[in-house]
Amino acid sequence: MELWHNGTIYTMNKEGETSEAVLVNDGVIAAIGSYSELKPQADREIDLEGNVLYPGFVDSHLHLIGHGQKLLQLDLSKVQSSADMRDRLVQEAGKLAPGEWLIGDGWDENNFPDRKIFHRQELDEITESPMVLRRVCRHALLANSAALELAGITDHTENPDGGLIVKDADGQPTGYLHDAAQEIMLAAMPEPSLNELTRAVDTAVKDMLSLGLTGAHTEDMAYYGAYSRPLEAFKNVIGENLKFRAHLLRHHAVFEEMEQHAVYKEPFIDPGPMKIFADGALGGRTALLTTPYTDDPSASGVAIHSPDGLRELVAKARRYQEAVAIHVIGDLALEMALDALEAHPVPAGKRDRLIHTVVVREDLVQRMQKLDLALDLQPQFVSSDFPWVMERLGNERLEWSYAWNRLINSGLICAGGSDAPVEDVDPLLGIHAAVTRRRAGELHEGYMPQEKLSRFEAIRLYTAGSAGAIRKEDSRGKVAPGFDADFTVLDRDLFKVEEDDILKAETILTVVDGDVMYRKGEK
């Protein structure tokens, strides 16, 4: 048995509670208590050297392969102007072999002073090779003419259900595709090989371990051909030699096939609920709202499924005694989701999830309180979406939007994630955003400061909250006897440092199943 000691050990059982030492046996916490009482039971001691140990941080919602791909390909997420974006594309185009696709990720016109969205003809001027640029929200993309031609998208192509092909005044596609319309383009793009998928998983997992993340709830199974390919990539990377807890959400398009045939690699790769998209995103005005957008009265968002279609998908999950995880950003999408969950209650021992839950209403909170569900929140959405989102939603609707404090105080189980590659995967950015409601270095009191979380509440999102989202609140997310020995060890105390110094914390150790998977300074 190993005895971890000589540091500050936060149990996260209640605010301020610490333990002097932790005894671990075969990947499970055997006891917590004083060093002197636990030392006689230990075969080996691990000196924390004054650092700070927390229960392992877990990202409750991301797209792990997408995060790996973002690290490996053209990343446009830090671009701050349309001119900058064009320069980056010109540079990347110069590296292409003839006919090779230019693929970029993460652009956000709301960061540009001119709010410019490129037209396909402007992209054509950069390269004749096919080009696809996924927006930061991943609910929209831009394509040039070569890519549109390969996808068969013309002026005669009609909008698919749950999607939009934007056309100009002449009725020609601009290259801007929303939600389900993206699937037409994605189907025409070359599929990454199994080796490329494996490399993306390996890159993502190692990056996340270096940031103190011991696991993630991730949705990747329906975007790379047959589900077996991304699943195999996960199995190629994660296991006894590289431990990481990957909880796989399963898109409704592949859910039934995976239920019948998929084999996992538990306890490190395990199956999760059926993933369903109910709407889009606020950035592209495709999040489904009860009333039109304040800055565009012609738009109210996009319903990915009809109310009946959404209910039928939930019913399908129930036939397999499984929970669902529904993407809802707008309040009308949330209302539709709750209608479906109430019509088909979650099976005993399972817990449904509502992912994002950005725009809510008080009556919808009251309905959520009566259901066994968890909310996957993304604190970084506040620092990314404000101030432009205030124009989009208007003051009246903002009262119950991004309302993390109200949701927690309503007694709802709340977990914290990044939605990477939409946001940066670093959990410290999420914790900082939850506590400050602003970007680092900004001097104001935060956007909607009444919705700030305490540091304990913020850290709980990534520990006990993420465990609760998958009904593992009795075995993960705390430092307590019988819980998995998953630890995040940082060089400073997140409860005591200045707010912006939260972001200066460095990961010293990341421990999964009692084994060190990352150590600062080691490759």
Q: What is the pLDDT of residues 45-97, one digit of tens each?
A: 999 999 999 999 999 999 999 999 999 989 898 899 999 999 999 999 999 88
**Confidence class for position 7, pLDDT limits 50, 70, 90:** very high
- Sheet with 173-179, strands from edge to edge, namely 74-75, 102-107, 131-135, 140-143, 173-179, 163-167
Contact between 356 and 378 (Cβ < 8 Å): yes
The CATH architecture that domain 1-50+476-523 belongs to is: Roll (2.30)
Calpha distance 160→223 (Å, rounded): 18
Placement of tokens 């593992």 in the chain: 472
Band of residue 98 on the pLDDT scale cut at 50, 70, 90: confident
Is the confidence at residue 27, as pLDDT, over 80? yes
The dihedral built from the CA positions of residue 313, 319, 320 and 326, taken in this order, carries a sign that is: positive
| Residues 264, 372: Cα–Cα separation, whole Å | 26
pTM of the model: 0.89
451, 399 Cβ separation under 8 angstroms: no
Q: Are 175 and 119 in contact (CB under 8 A)?
A: yes
Q: What is the pLDDT of residues 429-454, one digit of tens each?
A: 999 999 999 999 999 999 999 999 99
Count, residues in the chain: 523
| pLDDT score recorded for residue 235 | 98
Sign of CA dihedral 452, 457, 462, 465: negative
Residue of 451, 426, 489, 467 lying closest to 208 (CA atoms): 426
Cα gap 282→359, rounded to integer Å: 10
In CATH, what is the architecture of 69-188?
Answer: Roll (3.10)
| Cα distance between residue 244 and residue 314, in whole Å | 29
H and E: helices and strands count for the chain: 18, 22
Across the chain, what does the average pLDDT equal? 96
Residues 173, 167: contact at Cβ < 8 Å?
yes
Give the separation between CA 59 and CA 469, rounded to whole angstroms: 11
Q: Phi, psi (5° rounding) for residue 31? A: -165, 155
Q: What mean pLDDT do residues 1-22 have?
A: 98
3-class SS at 484?
A: strand
Beta-sheet pairing, 507-512 with 487-490:
antiparallel
So what CATH class is 278-453?
alpha beta
Give the three-state DSSP class for 351.
Answer: coil
Q: Contact 484/243 with Cβ under 8 angstroms? A: no
- What gap in Å lies between CA 404 and CA 382, rounded to an integer? 10
What gap in Å lies between CA 59 and CA 427, rounded to an integer?
7
Segment 417-426 shows an average pLDDT of 96
pLDDT classification of 138: cutoffs 50, 70, 90:
confident
Tell me what pLDDT residue 258 has.
Answer: 98
- Which band of pLDDT confidence, cut at 50, 70 and 90, is reported for residue 406? very high
Could you tell me which of 185, 308, 175, 305 has the C-alpha nearest to residue 253? 305
pLDDT of residue 523 exceeding 90, the answer is no
Query: pLDDT, tens digit, for every residue of 99-135?
Result: 899 999 889 999 999 999 999 999 999 999 999 999 9
User: Two tokens at 65?
Assistant: 């392969």
CB 197 within 8 A of CB 229: yes
What is the structure's pLDDT at 52?
Answer: 98
Q: Is 62 within 8 Å of 419 (Cβ atoms)?
A: yes
| CB-count exposure of residue 358 (10 Å: 0-12, 13-18, 19+) | buried
Asked if 491 and 51 touch (Cβ cutoff 8 Å), the reply is yes
Cis before residue 173, ω within 30 degrees of 0? no
Q: How much is the average pLDDT of 173-178?
A: 96
* Radius of gyration of the CA atoms of the chain, in A: 23
Residue 517 has pLDDT above 80, yes or no: yes
pLDDT digits (tens, 9 = 90+) for 181-219: 999 998 999 889 999 999 999 999 999 999 999 999 999
The number of C-alpha atoms within 13 Å of 129 and in the hemisphere containing its C-beta is 18
pLDDT of residue 214: 98
Q: What are the residue ranges spanned by the domains of the chain?
A: 1-50+476-523, 69-188, 278-453
Residue 137 pLDDT > 90: no
Q: How far apart, in whole angstroms, are the C-alpha atoms of residue 296 and residue 315? A: 35
Q: Does position 515 have pLDDT exceeding 80, yes or no?
A: yes
pLDDT at 73: 87
CA–CA dist 127, 226 (Å, integer): 31
Say if residues 130 and 102 touch (Cβ distance below 8 Å). yes
Convert the pLDDT of each residue in 461-492 to its tens digit.
999 999 999 999 999 999 999 999 999 999 99
pLDDT of residue 509: 98
